Structure 1
Amino acid sequence: MIHNRVRIVDVADALGLSTATVSKVIHGNTEKISDETVKRVQQELERTGYIPNMAGILLARNNSRIIGVVVNDHVKYEGGV
């Protein structure tokens, strides 16, 4: 597991902004945010190498469209004759 991962809270702290503001910029909800702030956040995201956590995004969306399949190929459970 990577422990030096850049988080939204790290970006927000570096810029003196709220995590909500940084999150809105990341997700493109910038109607109520000044162009200057959007630019600052985007520059900080690039500078720090921020990578969104896909598991967190899918969890928040509550719709991952991922199907899991479990296959048991153990000899004991095969339906042989």
Structure 2
Amino acid sequence: MSMESMREILEHIGIDAAVLEHSGHDSRIRADLGLDSTETTDLQTELKQRYGLSVDLWDKDDYSLAQLAERIRDTR
């Protein structure tokens, strides 16, 4: 999965395109992109629906965009 696909999902759940424009592979979903609890839940749901990926976005890890993209690649 490309970073563009990850950004598309984030835009779909309501993350501002301007924030995403300045994000990189190392951007963390909560610390850097500022996802709130609703957006985090929406992202988790989208990843499950689109890619069959069950990932706990509420654990101690604040996943980067690259880490999530890698997890999706590993499920295919």
> Which protein shows a greater Rg?
1
TM-score normalized by the length of structure 1: 0.36
TM-score normalized by the length of structure 2: 0.38
